[in-house]
Structure 1
Amino acid sequence: MNDQIQIISSALDSFIENNADARKEQISAESEFTLYYISTITDALFIDEQLIDPFFRYSKTQFEQYINSIGQPGNNPDQLLLKLCKGNAVLLYNDHIYTIEKTAKYENRSVNTPQVEASIIGPLEAFVENLSINLNLIRKHYHSPTLRIVKFEIGEKSHTTGYMLYDSELADQEFVNNELSHIQNLHIPIVQDVSRLQQYLSIKRPLLFPRSMVTERPDRVSTALSRGKIAYLIETTPFVSLSPINFHDFMSSVDDSYGLPIYSHFMIILRYLALSITILLPGAYVAFTAYNPEVFRVQLALSIAGSRAGLPYPAFLEVTFMLIMMELLVEASLRVPKTIGPTVTTVGGLILGQAASQANLVSDIMIIMVSAVAIANFVIPISTMSLTVRVLKYILLFMGTIAGFYGLTIGIILLISYLFTLHNSTYSMVQSFTGPIPFNTKKSSSGR
C-alpha cells in the first residue's frame, strides 16, 4: 500500500469513527477489498448484489474490469469524503481507489398535484425534491433537441447540485454565460432553495420586487423555455426558478394558455384590478376620509362619517389595526394544523370583525374594505408577488396618511419609477422578453 493510499485510508477511517451511520467493510483478509459507505443514504441491496457478490464470483481481472466500468477513480481525500457524504461508496481495491455513484439512495415522495399553483384545466403534476424526477417531468413536456442542461454545484458547505436549463436557439447566450459566470463566482456556505439562489445571482439584492419567478409546475417551465427563458433546478426543493422575468409574468396563470383568448384577457384584467385594489384601497380610504372627503358624493361621505361616529381612533389607526389582524389570520391559517386551520381562521375572523364593530373600535365600512383587500390579494397567482403586494400597501398607506391624496399620488409615482429601475442583467422588469421566432435559426433574442 503506497503512501497516498495510506493517507486516504486514514482519512476514511477517521470519518468512520466520528459518524455512527458510516460503515467500513473489509472483505478480503489481505486488505485488497475495503468498502466505505454511509448506510443511511446508500442502497444496501446494490452493495450486496453489485459489489460484494461479484468480488467472490469473478476473477481478479474480471472484477477489476467490472469495477472500472461502474466506478470512477479518485485520489483526493477531500473529494472522496464529499462523495461519501453524497451517498457514493468508496472502494479500495489493489492499491486503487474507486467511487461508486450508483449506491446513492434518497427517500423521495411521489409526484403529486400542485399545492401552490392550482389549475382548473392544466396538468395535475408538480415537482418534487428529486432532481431526476423533475428533469423527467420537464423532458416529458419539452421534447426539443435544442434543450440544454448544464450542471453546477453551489454552497461551500452544502455542495448542492443544481441544473440550468435553456433552449440554445431561443435563449440569449450572452445572458446564459453571465449567469453561469455568476454561479461559479458565488461564495456562500449553503443554498437550499432556488429563490435564495436567484437573490445571490442578482447584481443588486432585491428590496421589494422579486427578480425571478418560482413555480412548481412543469408546464409553466416548458412554456418559459419556449420563450427563451432560463430555468434553475437544485436538489432538495420542489420548485424551479425562471429568469429573466418581467412584471406581467407574475400576473399570468397557467390557465391563461388553456382557455379561450377572451376569457384569458378578462382574467388578466381582473388580476390587475385586484392588484390595484390591494395596493391602493387602504391608503385611499385614509387619504379621502381624513384629508379629501369632498371627492365622495354627499351620500357616501355622510355614510362614511356616520359609520365612524363614536370611534375613538383616527382612520389611520383603524386601518392599520384591521390590516394587521388580517395578516395574523392569514399567517395563522398557514401555521395551524390543516384539519382545524379553516375553522379557526373563519370563526376567528367573523368573531373578531363583529366584536370590533360592536365595540366601536372599527366601522362597518372598514370591515368591508379590509375583506376586499384580503380577497383581492389572493387573486394574484404567484405567491412571491402576492407577498410583495402585502408589503406595498403599507407604503402607500403611510404616504396617504402623511399627505392625503397628494401623498398617495407621489407614492404611486415613486413605486412605478422604482419598478422601471429594476433589471435582471440586461433585461428590465417592465420589458417583455421573448426568444426569436421559430423560423429564425440564429442564436439571438429580442427584448422589446
Structure 2
Amino acid sequence: MNEQIQLIASSLDTFVENNADARKEQITGEPEFILYYISTITDSAFIDDQLKAPFFRYSGIQFEQHINSISQTIGKTDDLPAVLCKGSAVILYNNQVYTIEKALKYKTRNVDTPQVEASIVGPLEAFVESMAVNMNLIRKHYQSPTLRIVKFEIGTISRITGYMLYDSELADQAFVDRELAQIKNQNARNAQAVSKVQQYLPKKRPLLFPRSVVTERPDRVSEALSKGKSAYLIETTPFASLAPINFHDFMASMDDSYMLPVYSYFLIALRYFALFATVILPGAYVAFTAFNPEVFRVQLALSIAGSRAGLPYPAFLEVGFMMIMTELLVEASLRVPKTIGPAATTVGGLILGEAASQANLVSDIMIIVVAAVAIANFVIPINTMSLTVRVLKYVLLFLGTIAGFFGLTIGIVLLISYLFTMHDAKYSMVQSYTAPVKFNTQRSPKRSAGGRQT
C-alpha cells in the first residue's frame, strides 16, 4: 500500500470511528482489499454478492475487471467521506480507489395517489422521495427521445442530488443554459425542498407571488415539458418545480385537459371568480359598510346596518378577528392528528361562529363573508398560490380600512401593475408561454372560380 492510499485509508478510518453505522471490512492478502460503506443506506445483499464474494471467487485480474465494470471514477480523493454519505461503497484494492454507486439503497414508500393535487379523471400517481421512481413516472408519461436530463448538486453542507429536465427541441436553450449556470452558483446550505432550487438562484425575488409551480403530479410535469418548460427535481422531496411560469399556470388543474372544453372553461372561470372573491370580499365589506354604504341598494344597506346594530367594535376589527380565527382553524386542521382533525375544526368553526354571533361580537353577514372567503380560497388548485392569496387579502383589507373604496381600487391597480413587473428575462407572469410553433408563412396560390391557379 503506497503512501497516498495510506492517507486515504487513514481518513476513511477516522470517518468510520466517528459514525456508528459506518463499516470497514479488511481482507489482508496480496494485494490488500479494504471495503468501506455505511450499512444504513447500502444494500447488504449487493455488498455480499457483488463485492465480497467475487474477491474469493475470481482471480486477481478477473476481480479487478469486475470491479472496474461496476465502479465509477472520482475527481478528488478528499471527497470520499461525502461519497460514503451518498450511499456508495469505497474499495481500496491494489493501490487503487474504487467507488460503487450501485450499493446505494434508500428506503422509500410506494407510489401513492396525489395528496395535494387531487384528480377526478386524471392519473392517480404522485411523486415519492425516490428519484429513480420519479424518473420512471416521468419517462412513462413523456416518452420522447428529445427529453434531456441534467444532473446537478445543491447545498453547500448537504450535497443533495437534483435533476433539471427539458425538451431539447421545445425549450428555450438560452433560458436552460442560464438556469444551469445559476444553479451551479447557488449558495443554499441545505436544500430539502425543491422550491429552494428556485429561491436560492441569484435572481430578483418576487415579494408576494411564487416564482415556480410546485407539483406532485407527473402528468403536470409532462404537460409542462411539452410546452417547452423546464422541471426541477431533487432526491429528498416528492415534488417537482416548473419554470418559466405565467399566472394562469396557478389557476389550471390537470383535469382541465381531460374534460370537454366547455367544462374546462367553466371551471377556469369559476376559479378566477373565487380568486377575485377571496381577495376582494374582506376589504370590500369594510370599505362599503364603513365608508361607502351608498353603493348597496337601500334594502341591503339597511339589512347590514341592522345586523351590525349593537356591535361594540368597528367593521375592520370585526373582519380581522374572524379572519384570524379562520386562519387558526386552517392551521389547526393541518397540525392535529388526522383522526380528530376534521371533527375538531368543524365543531370549532361552528361553535366559534355561533358564539361570536350570539355575543354580539360579529354580525351574521360577517360570518357569511368569512365562510365565502375560506371556501373560495380552497378552490385555487396550486397550494403556493393559495398561500399567496391568503396574504393578499390582508393587504387589500388594510387599504380598504384606511381609504374605503378608493383605497381598495388603488390596491387592485397596484397589484395588477406589480404582476406586470414580475418577469424572468423575457418571460413574465402575464405572458402566455408555450413551446415555439413553426407556422407556414408562405401563402398558398389563389385559385380562380374555374379552378385555375392565379
What interval of TM-score do these two structures reach, taking the shorter chain for normalisation?
over 0.9
The alignment covers a number of residue pairs equal to 440
Q: Tell me the equivalent position of 2:325.
A: 325
Q: Give, in angstroms, the shift of residue 206 of structure 1.
A: 2.4
Partners of 1:114 and 1:72 in 2: how far apart? 36
Partners of 2:15 and 2:230 in 1: how far apart? 39
Aligned-residue CA RMSD (Å): 1.2
| 1:262 matched to 2:269 | no
Partners of 1:110 and 1:100 in 2: how far apart? 25
User: Does structure 2 conserve the Cα–Cα contact (< 8 Å) formed by 1:202 and 1:424?
Assistant: no
TM norm structure 1 = 0.96
- Taking the TM superposition and a 5 Å limit, the aligned residue runs for 1:38-437 are 38-74=38-74, 76-201=76-201, 203-437=203-437
Code of the residue aligned with 2:33 in structure 1: it is F
| Alpha-carbon spacing, 1:74–1:246, altered in 2? closer, same or farther (3 Å) | closer
SS, match of residue 117 in structure 1:
coil
Q: Tell me the equivalent position of 1:446.
A: none
Q: Give, in angstroms, the shift of residue 29 of structure 1.
A: 4.4
| Alpha-carbon spacing, 1:75–1:116, altered in 2? closer, same or farther (3 Å) | closer
Q: Give, in angstroms, the shift of residue 79 of structure 1.
A: 1.6
Q: Give, in angstroms, the shift of residue 82 of structure 1.
A: 1.0
Partners of 2:74 and 2:98 in 1: how far apart? 6
User: Does structure 1 conserve the Cα–Cα contact (< 8 Å) formed by 2:186 and 2:202?
Assistant: no
Partners of 1:170 and 1:226 in 2: how far apart? 7
Identity over aligned pairs, percent:
76
Code of the residue aligned with 2:269 in structure 1: it is I
Partners of 2:45 and 2:439 in 1: how far apart? 51
| Alpha-carbon spacing, 1:33–1:387, altered in 2? closer, same or farther (3 Å) | same
Q: Give, in angstroms, the shift of residue 185 of structure 1.
A: 1.1
Q: Give, in angstroms, the shift of residue 156 of structure 1.
A: 1.1
Q: Mind listing any 5+ residue stretches in structure 2 that lack a counterpart?
A: 441-454
Q: Give, in angstroms, the shift of residue 438 of structure 1.
A: 7.0
Q: Give, in angstroms, the shift of residue 201 of structure 1.
A: 2.3
Q: Give, in angstroms, the shift of residue 202 of structure 1.
A: 5.7
| Alpha-carbon spacing, 1:6–1:74, altered in 2? closer, same or farther (3 Å) | farther
Q: Give, in angstroms, the shift of residue 48 of structure 1.
A: 0.7
User: Does structure 2 conserve the Cα–Cα contact (< 8 Å) formed by 1:111 and 1:128?
Assistant: yes
Code of the residue aligned with 2:334 in structure 1: it is L
Q: Deviations over 1:120-159 (max 9, x none)?
A: 0000000001111101100000111111111111111111
SS, match of residue 162 in structure 1:
strand
| Alpha-carbon spacing, 1:420–1:23, altered in 2? closer, same or farther (3 Å) | same
Partners of 2:249 and 2:73 in 1: how far apart? 46
Partners of 1:285 and 1:354 in 2: how far apart? 20
| Alpha-carbon spacing, 1:359–1:9, altered in 2? closer, same or farther (3 Å) | same
Q: Deviations over 1:184-217 (max 9, x none)?
A: 1112211111111111226112210001000000
Q: Tell me the equivalent position of 2:8.
A: 8
SS, match of residue 333 in structure 1:
helix
| Alpha-carbon spacing, 1:133–1:321, altered in 2? closer, same or farther (3 Å) | same
Partners of 2:286 and 2:75 in 1: how far apart? 69
Partners of 1:74 and 1:154 in 2: how far apart? 18
Code of the residue aligned with 2:58 in structure 1: it is Y
Code of the residue aligned with 2:101 in structure 1: it is E
SS, match of residue 200 in structure 2:
helix
User: Does structure 2 conserve the Cα–Cα contact (< 8 Å) formed by 1:275 and 1:377?
Assistant: yes
Q: Deviations over 1:311-367 (max 9, x none)?
A: 000000000000000000000000000000000000000000000000000000000
Partners of 2:33 and 2:425 in 1: how far apart? 52
Partners of 2:306 and 2:76 in 1: how far apart? 79
Code of the residue aligned with 1:344 in structure 2: it is A
Q: Give, in angstroms, the shift of residue 74 of structure 1.
A: 4.2
SS, match of residue 435 in structure 1:
coil
Partners of 1:439 and 1:316 in 2: how far apart? 55
- Taking the TM superposition and a 5 Å limit, the aligned residue runs for 1:428-447 are 428-437=428-437
| Higher RCO structure (Cα 8 Å, ≥6 apart) | 1
TM norm structure 2 = 0.95
Q: Give, in angstroms, the shift of residue 30 of structure 1.
A: 5.2
Q: Tell me the equivalent position of 1:443.
A: none
Q: Deviations over 1:9-32 (max 9, x none)?
A: 110011111111111001234570
- Taking the TM superposition and a 5 Å limit, the aligned residue runs for 1:18-33 are 18-29=18-29, 32-33=32-33
Partners of 1:203 and 1:410 in 2: how far apart? 28
SS, match of residue 433 in structure 1:
coil
